[in-house]
Structure 1
Amino acid sequence: MTHDHPAPHRRPLRWLVSAMTAAALGTALLIGVAPATADTVSPDVDPPAPVSTQQLASDASRTRATVAWDASSLQEVYAPADGFYSYAPSVVRDGDTEWIWTCHNDEFRVIKDHIYLTKIVDGVVVDSRSVLQASAAPAWDSFHVCDPSVVEGKFRYLGVKYSLAMFHLGNDLDASAHNQIGVAFANSPEGPWVKLPEPIVTFDRADQWGVGQPTAVMMPGKPGTVLLGYTQGDTSTRAYVTEVDLKKAESFTTTTPVQLPTAGLTGTDGAADYLNGFDLVFDKKGDQFLAVREQHPYAFDNPWWIGPAVQVVTIPQRDLLRGRGTWAPVGDVNESLTGFDRNHNAGFARDWTGHLAAKNEVSVVFTTSCSSLPTIDDQDWSLATCDSLYSYDLWSIDGALNRRR
């Protein structure tokens, strides 16, 4: 990726899919589930500082890129069985093998998130299983675990060395609220994964969306330190990055979070957009980060908590780390490209450290969904032709990355 978009979490409304009345739904939307807009931000909350003209001018002269999508590369990656969903992929591509960790239910038509690993060799799914589950109550992640992001590094926890870290969202409610971010360690993609018992990015309020949608990239030259991006949703929706030092995870440290800019982001309607539900990848050759992000506004028909398209954008490394500058859109994944009504909850195919899997290519793995309109007699979509959440599956598309200055 949620928990949904409140900030959203990359997530379909878990509790929305259950039988809620229209009145209850309205209440739910008031406690941080809907994307924040100017109308929902409290007047005493300061908006993000505008990007200066000087910063924008300097950004314009830096490396930017375009992505030329190869329509013939569009393919289905993974389709869960009927009554199951899969979305918000963290993808590692290594030769002919792909490891894809996703948010996935484990019981037929039961909305309770696990993290699954789907292994694909030469384009064929050879294994798909739950590798991380909710902890026992009253743990902070005792209900949902979702939104994985996996990187390779040099980590140590309680004296044991680990080569892999998985950042994930967790919560303790059957709701899209009180989300926090944790981390688990392993020496194999399949696990076993050992969780740090407490979250590394915390959120106190149980009546707001919280923090989630983590995306992790290893810091160059710092094998035990991870650059962690994430979404925060309370009275507004914002994105941050922080550095997490996991060389001794039981006493981990984080730097002061830096709020990411939104300048340059555009919605499907061409208007200025906000940032949430994003995955980062580092382009060493271009000294820049790419993000693939949810575009807004969200649709009014079912499912209305996800966007119709995702957008690939770039920003110079230095600007992202300092929370300044402007994003440059380089390619959209939308209905005209894929043929799907909904293209959402996407991730890049990356190498083990969070860099581009191929120097001059961008591969996006995204989630698709059907869509349908409600009727006056079917407000909870129980009779809808689109079984939206359970239509979620994964597709991918590749494109040539053309850098320019």
Structure 2
Amino acid sequence: MAPFRTIRRFGVLAAALGVGALLAPLGTAAAQDDAGPRPARDGVAWDPASLTQVYAPEPGFYSYAPSVVRDGDTEWIWSCHNDQSRVIEDHIYLTKRVDGVVTETRSVLHASPAPAWDSFHTCDPSVVAGRFHYGGTRYSYAMFYLGNDVDASAHNQVGVAFATDPAGPWVKYPEPIVTSDRVDQWGAGQPTAVSLAGDSGRVLLAYTRGDTSTRAYASVVDLTHVERLRVGPPVLLPTDGLTGADGAADYLNGFDLALDRTGRNVVVVREQHPYPIDNPWWIGPSVQVARLSLTDLLAGTGTWQPLGDIDHDLTGFTRNHNAGLVRTWRGRLADARGVEVVFTSSCSSLPTVDDPDWSQATCDSLYSYDLWSITGRFTRSR
């Protein structure tokens, strides 16, 4: 779920990365100011007191775009992460938490040797359980991910890797399963997947495509026998009902999806627009949780029901972006009565997109990316 401009060459931004201070823990203060659940008429009552830092990388490192599974007292969190201090070259890291304590964090998927399609960045993981037969082995887990082969925000494509254990190792399928031919356009990425048919290899895969416009698609993918994988025709996902941070109609990108416990509805957490004009202007200020019936999503019809926003007023952070839903291994919401969101925070400062004088910067924005969580309960309007 990396921002639409990710993966990117930072250009003039690189000059600012060494001048800022890391974000103060504003979220904690925000939570203490309001101890009770925030009433919501739109479907989720957020509990500010639940705001918790999930993972803070070491200085010089970033973590964002999490795929999160809760299994009992254990949380499995895969995220987009650099592997060398202050080097912007994305790996996929696994951060494992037990009883709320980080027990390990390490790279589990990285670029392939050139000239492979994913020879520069690997990012935007989405992990789901199923039954996947590949190369004579039956795998229990699939990881969909974004990869590219250039040091730029371009030529992104979607691939998949498999493992018998969620800790890895992960075995890549050698070719992308959602392709993009143009090397001068953003391409296809930000995948998110859920299991459709119990203990099988059929999954619903959704993703962002960016070329002449930004839009989202979903396909049914059958990975039961990977050598004979079938990717169904892409369905353009609707945007009716989605609202931006300004209250206006919005488009869909940078999202994670899950099925609710009934299996009849899809819940998404998605980046809101418009993007701010100050640093960092390539990520959204807030994310929105919304719901749509699975039938409508598969048909590319229907109207989303916004359920709640995660924004500065709720968290104290000026950027709340690149979020993931806490799910089960099959891609259903982990909490039957509500939703938990793991999102990325960031500081912000001058310069602005219209006046990029990096001498004004006090925010080392990329290296302030860390992971926080917040929970909410579903509500019903009277």
Query: TM over 0.5, yes or no?
Result: yes
2:74 alignment partner AA: T
Deviation at 1:317, TM superposition (A): 1.1
Q: Residue deviations 1:121-164, cap 9 Å, x none?
A: 01100000000000000000000000000000000111111000
Name 2:13's counterpart in structure 1.
17
Name 1:101's counterpart in structure 2.
78
Name 1:158's counterpart in structure 2.
135
Aligned 1:204-215 pairs, distance under 5 A = 204-215=181-192
Name 1:354's counterpart in structure 2.
331
Q: Residue deviations 1:217-268, cap 9 Å, x none?
A: 0003461111000000000001000011111112211100000000001111
Aligned 1:11-160 pairs, distance under 5 A = 14-15=10-11, 17-18=13-14, 66-160=43-137
Report if aligned partners of 1:341, 1:371 keep a CA contact under 8 Å in 2. Answer: yes
Name 2:318's counterpart in structure 1.
341
Query: Number of residues paired by the alignment?
Result: 358
Is 2:219 the counterpart of 1:223? Answer: no
1:103 alignment partner AA: C
* Structure 2: gaps spanning 5 or more residues: 17-40
How far apart, CA to CA, are the structure 2 residues paired with 1:139 and 1:18? 27
How far apart, CA to CA, are the structure 1 residues paired with 2:109 and 2:142? 12
What percent identity do the matched residue pairs reach?
67
Name 2:163's counterpart in structure 1.
186
Give the 3 Å change call, closer, same or farther, for CA 135–222 of structure 1 in structure 2: same
Report if aligned partners of 2:272, 2:288 keep a CA contact under 8 Å in 1. Answer: yes
Q: Residue deviations 1:356-402, cap 9 Å, x none?
A: 11211200000000000117998363661100000000000001123
Give the 3 Å change call, closer, same or farther, for CA 204–260 of structure 1 in structure 2: same
Alignment TM-score, normalising by the size of structure 2: 0.90
Q: Residue deviations 1:189-214, cap 9 Å, x none?
A: 22110000000000000000000000
Give the 3 Å change call, closer, same or farther, for CA 144–108 of structure 1 in structure 2: same
Q: Residue deviations 1:249-292, cap 9 Å, x none?
A: 12211100000000001111111100000000101327211000
How far apart, CA to CA, are the structure 1 residues paired with 2:169 and 2:257? 26
Deviation at 1:188, TM superposition (A): 1.2
Calculate the aligned-residue CA RMSD, in Å.
2.1
Alignment TM-score, normalising by the size of structure 1: 0.85
Q: Residue deviations 1:98-133, cap 9 Å, x none?
A: 000000000000000000000000110000000000
Which of 236, 239, 242 matches 2:213? Answer: 236
Name 1:38's counterpart in structure 2.
none
How far apart, CA to CA, are the structure 1 residues paired with 2:183 and 2:90? 18
How far apart, CA to CA, are the structure 1 residues paired with 2:105 and 2:380? 36
Is 2:152 the counterpart of 1:175? Answer: yes
Q: Provide the secondary structure at the position in 2 that maps to 1:336.
A: helix
* Structure 1: gaps spanning 5 or more residues: 21-63
Q: Provide the secondary structure at the position in 2 that maps to 1:275.
A: coil
Report if aligned partners of 2:319, 2:347 keep a CA contact under 8 Å in 1. Answer: yes
Name 1:41's counterpart in structure 2.
none
